[in-house]
Amino acid sequence: MFFWQILLNSLVIGTQVLLLAVPLYLVYSVSKIYHLGLGATAAATAYALYFGLTNDWPLGLSIGLAVIVALAVAGISYWLLEPFARQKNSLYGLLTSFALGLGLEALLAIMFGTDGKFLIRQVLPTFQWGDLYITQPGAWTIIVGVALTVLAVALVQKTPWGRTLRSVAENSFVASSLRINSSLVRLVVLMGASLLAGFVGIMTSLNTALTPQIGFNLVLMAFVALLVGGVSSLKGTVMAAYIVSLVPELLVGLSSGFWDMSANWKMLLVFIIATILLIWRPNGLLTKAQRAVD
Amino acid sequence: MGYFFTTLARFFEGAIVSVGAHLTISLGGIFLFGLPTMYALGAYAFVVCQKFGLGSGLSFLITLGLVLLVSLVFILAYWKLSNESLAIFTLISVLAFDAVVKSWDSVTGGVLGIAGVARPSALQTLGQLVFWEGALIVIILTLEYFFLKTKFGRALLGMRENIPLVQSLGISSKKLGAAMILVASILAALAGLLTVWRIQFLDPSIAGMVVLIQVVTVGILAVKPKVSWLIGAALFVTLVPEILRLFDLPSTMVGNLRVLLYAVILIVALRSLKGWLAPKRFV
């Protein structure tokens, strides 16, 4: 029973990681930039909701503010990253998004402080099955997360819009010659990615305390999932997101009584798993070996 | 005088890490984000060894061994992964090391840290420490200056522009990159050790994102293969946050303002220097 409870809790975290890995994959696909600032976008959106709720705004208005903040950060990200995406200068794009993320987190810390904030002040409502239980925000994270991921996979692989997106990812110059506005595609993807990241930020802060760094650990876990799964494979990313979340959670959970590993060790376990998997399969778990052509 | 010596020591320590950032990020185009890990590892390994009663020589050897071991992991990642993936992978190492330090409190002192770190007998006063740090940075910068004049130094510059060309000249870019990662790691560990001797206190906040953004900012600002650019960038990054002292700000806010300031500087530098940063194609 204890094992199943840990598995259930791990599924929630795995889905949060997955929900951030999908927008990272989408942004990388169209711009070849690892957008490290998505973690801070998640935190900023959650803080916007917190601001609305603590100032007694109606829920709809608070959600509206959160959406505006997510879209505004997407706009800033687009303005900062677009020159590097056009130049195919992914390294300096990565650095810019890193600086944007750290700057945004520092700004949130200055505005709201670094102490934990709570979106829900009372005890979290739960669903119960015998001895097993899950918090309602956790259950919604799993349901909505899986639904959104399936939707994203279907959208990218089965629709004309997905083909447009993949064409920009493959060769933006050829796409432009076919009258596809690559910059617009990148802007739309960044907006969608920011909204998705914002959703993750809100769902995470419903389960735990909201701090400016809430998105950073999660976005790094999502990056590990992206690297381990293979940056060109959405299925591999989905699989890796659950592996890098479930294995540390299970190891920490099941170690109680033997070594009493604290939850703080999880990031070290993620690093060790990433090291092993990346050295074993540097191109990703599900990526087939290709013959290099020069 | 104390403030002057402290600022000077901070500049010297920053410059030592920055030499590593200059060799890897600026010149080699190797995005090694794990320098704060090495910075903290150098400090923690030595202090923990001393805490358990080991002599200075043995503590130093163990520290060096651990630094080499972690460098080996970074080198493996450098060989196996793309440059962006290396950046992310080494960035995760910063958080992983932070997790170890915070969790293993019986050894590292956890979040409370280790107080009363003893300085070596030759570095008892802040003035002595500053003098030796100054001497050390002069030696390191001189070595870097002469290294950049050698064929390997030129090959390192070539690596950022055109790796196949460097390989066609019979120089292994893999081995050269690995050597630079090793040198940068040792320098970062040395800077961490010097910092802990200066502040005589060690806690998890010694490294982390603040050190990383400082190092990366120097790495980007010191884009030219000149030692003078490196000194200028390290000096700029050390002195700019001192502006905040002019305002009467709460201490909790100052740390976050420093990060915000570095983030803005880094973004402005990347946008304004991108013509110099991106490799140019000459036809």
* Mean pLDDT over the full length of chain B: 87
Phi-psi region of B110 (alpha: psi -120 to 50; beta: other; left: phi over 0): left
Question: Of A68, A50, A94, which is closest to residue A210 (Cα–Cα)?
Answer: A50
Q: Are A216 and A40 in contact (CB under 8 A)?
A: yes
pLDDT tens-digit readout, B65-93: 999 999 999 999 999 888 888 888 898 89
**Closest approach of chain A CAs to the CA of B25, in angstroms?**
10
Tokens of A120: 């829900």
- Residues of A within 8 A of B100 (CB-CB) are 265, 268
Query: Helices B227-239 and B2-21 meet at what angle, rounded to 10?
Result: 130
Token representation of residue A201: 């930020």
A76 touches chain B (CB under 8 A): no
Min Cα distance A25 → chain B (Å) is 13
Contact status, residue A82 vs residue A20, Cβ threshold 8 Å: no
The three-state DSSP-derived secondary structure of A130-151 is CCEEEEHHHHHHHHHHHHHHHH
Chain B interface, best mutation among A97, A102, A214, by max B CB count within 10 A: A102
Between A244 and B282, where is the model more confident?
Answer: A244
Nearest in space to B17 (alpha carbons), one of B44, B47, B37, B45: B37
Read off the pLDDT of residues A217-228 as tens digits, 9 standing for 90 and up: 888 888 888 888
Strand A126-129 versus strand A132-135 pairing type: antiparallel
Which residues neighbour B102 within 8 Å (Cβ) at sequence distance 6 or greater? Answer: A264, B108, B110, B111, B204
Task: Give the integer Cα–Cα distance in Å for A237 and A151.
Answer: 15
Going by pLDDT thresholds of 50, 70 and 90, the confidence category of residue B134 is: very high
pLDDT digits (tens, 9 = 90+) for B4-57: 888 889 889 989 998 998 899 888 888 899 999 999 999 999 999 998 889 889
Domain boundaries, chain A: 2-215
Enumerate the β-bridge partners of residue A133: A128
Q: Which of A267, A229, A238, A275 is nearest to A251 (CA)?
A: A267
CATH of B2-277, one of 1.10.3470, 1.20.120, 1.10.101, 1.10.150: 1.10.3470
pLDDT in tens, B179-197: 999 999 999 999 999 999 9
Give A95 to chain B, closest Cα distance, Å: 8
Residues B190 and B42: beta-carbon distance below 8 Å: yes
Q: Cα angle vertex B110, ends B104, B113, to 5°? A: 135
pLDDT in tens, B153-172: 888 888 877 888 888 888 88
